[in-house]
Amino acid sequence: MTVANAPSLARTVRGELSFASIAGRTHLMRQLTPHPFHITRPFHHPCDPQGMATLYLQSSSGGIYGDDDLALCVRVEPGAAVHLTTQASTVVHDARGRVGARQTVTATIAEGGLLEYLPDPAILMAGSKLTTRVHAHLDEGATLLMADAQLCHDPDGLGRSFETLESDISLTVAGKPLLLDRFELNGADWLTRTGGYRCAGMMLVAGDLRAGGAMLEAANSLSGVYAGVSHLAARKITLLRFLAEDGVALSRALKTIWAAARLALTGQIPAARRK
């Protein structure tokens, strides 16, 4: 039996996180984190918006493998504020002939809620296949700030690329569809399509229009970064995409653009997260 014809060993794993504000302070009210999901305890930064909880997502498996199927449901109750990030970048391993990894995040943000979903970049190893989906459902008066980023890596230096990357981001507000953003990319085409840049990312704000100009200005202030912004005023959505020449520039861009967005949205400069 060849590797390409190997039977599927897909694992379907579902995690859940629910946050609520009690007396002006956001708390983790429910968690379901089966392997490979793992989380830190929530903590609060003095420079964050009032009551905001920060939670780090972790993995106990060392990355995402061949045909993993991972899904996370996040609920932010009215008035709660959450900064949800990862401890480090997520390694997407060589699929080795399998169907590829799938990762789905579903976020529901109630009226007055704020969710910052800011995972570190996915590292697309040679031979990897990744399908990533983010479905966000916002009530009127809710705000979402999210990032998505990838970099490609060939650890053996043999000139191999990742195989495929599929992305699907959808937003609804008060039950009305506002955004559907999709792309599919073969790894062999990556450098041609990006003009030689090895890293790519995006930052999206929904429910508030104040951050767009600040995000673009922040991106343009960085060396090794090429950025453009789409400003959908009628839908209260700002989407900034950027390319970065290496992992260092990518990480710097994510942090700088996020800080600019936070300042524009809340008037506060965020404290750095130690990772």
pLDDT tens column, 166-218: 999 999 999 899 999 999 999 999 999 999 999 999 999 999 999 999 999 99
Helical residues (DSSP H) of the chain, grouped into ranges: 190-194, 212-220, 247-266
- Which residue from 102, 206, 73, 87 is spatially nearest to 146, judged by alpha carbons? 206
Is residue 228 in a domain?
A: no
Does 41 reside within a domain? yes
User: In angstroms, rounded to a whole number, what is the distance separating the alpha carbons of residues 83 and 41?
Assistant: 13
User: What is the pLDDT, as a whole number, of residue 201?
Assistant: 97
Query: Does any domain span residue 226?
Result: no
What is the pLDDT, as a whole number, of residue 1?
38
**Domain tally for the chain?**
1
* pTM, entire model: 0.93
Distance CA 178, CA 207 (A): 11
Average pLDDT, the chain: 93
Q: How many CB atoms lie within 10 A of CB 234?
A: 7
Gyration radius (Cα) of the chain, Å: 18
- How many Å apart are CA 183 and CA 168, to the nearest integer? 7
Residue 106, domain member (yes or no): yes
Give the Cβ contact number of residue 271 at 10 Å: 12
Examine the pLDDT at 3 and tell me if it is beyond 60: no
Residues in the chain: 275
Domain-located, residue 269:
no
SS3 20: strand
* Tokens 């990030």, located at residue: 85
Look at residue 268 and tell me if it is in a domain: no
Task: State pLDDT tens for residues 110-156.
Answer: 999 999 999 999 999 999 999 999 999 999 999 999 999 999 999 88
CA distance 145 to 169: 13
With respect to residue 82, please indicate whether it lies within any of the assigned structural domains.
yes
Instruction: Assess if residue 179 is contained within a domain.
Output: yes
For residue 104, what are the domain limits? Answer: 9-196
